[in-house]
Chain A
Amino acid sequence: GDSVTQTEGLVTLTKGLPVMLNCTYQTTYSPFLFWYVQHLNEAPKLLLKSSTDNKRTEHQGFYATLHKSSSSFHLQKSSVQLSDSALYFCALSDTGAPRFGAGTKLSVKP
């Protein structure tokens, strides 16, 4: 069945450093991939989405490229800020119910 894997449970970084949060998926269909961000005590909000192979998508300084050959959709940012501290979910949607990864908590220190 469909699945999404996020390998890091917690990533701790100093402000200003680059970050990459990993996301790989499994599906037999042509998928839409998403990144959602959830700040403390808030609801998840859409950050990025893509269904186009090898095309970079960007929003609020974050970017990701869907690579169907490697079934990956890693989230990156060149310089993290304190306000980026949050829980990040990778999600997959195709013909069935959406699948979410376990989430990666990003903690940015001063």
Chain B
Amino acid sequence: NAGVIQTPRHKVTGKGQEATLWCEPISGHSAVFWYRQTIVQGLEFLTYFRNQAPIDDSGMPKERFSAQMPNQSHSTLKIQSTQPQDSAVYLCASSSDRYEQYFGPGTRLTVL
């Protein structure tokens, strides 16, 4: 079991560019969660999927952020027109039920 896989581990973009972050959940897990972590804001919930269907995106910024889960083996978080305030560690987690989550190593996004 390789755990939750996130790629890339580090990404640097210029202001206004697009960033796509990938997450491969643990095989057999039905739920995938996305979080953003910064020193100032802490751990912020963004969105989650269950059985590939979007369940709750209440934490997603309404503009520029979108998430998809086209199949059970991966999910993507896309940020369009990145801004410096988007700089953060983006964490993906998966779960086999509604409860215990297993986190990936995160993608550190730096927007210059």
Contacts and interface: CB of A to CB of B under 8 A. Distances in A.
Given A97-B48, A99-B45, A43 B100 contact: no
A49 B99 CA distance: 9
Contact of A93 (B55, B98, B102, B105): B98
A11 interface: no
- Chain B interface bracket (under 10, 10 to 19, 20 to 34, 35 or more): 20 to 34
B33 interface: yes
A97 B56 contact: yes
A46 B103 CA distance: 9
Contacts of B43: 44, 89, 100, 103
A32 B99 contact: yes
A26 to B, nearest CB: 16
B27 interface: no
A9 to B, nearest CB: 10
A34 interface: yes
Contacts of B101: 46, 98
Contacts of A42: 105
A98 B99 CA distance: 8
A53 to B, nearest CB: 16
B91 interface: yes
A2 to B, nearest CB: 11
Contact of A97 (B45, B100, B104): B45
A49 B100 contact: yes
B106 A98 contact: no
B71 interface: no
A96 interface: yes
B12 to A, nearest CB: 17
Interface string A71-108: 00000000000000000010001011111101100000
Interface of B: 4, 33, 35, 42-43, 45, 48, 55-56, 58-59, 91, 98-106
Given A44-B43, A102-B42, 11 more contacts: A32-B99, A42-B105, A43-B104, A43-B105, A43-B106, A46-B100, A89-B43, A97-B48, A97-B59, A103-B42, A103-B43
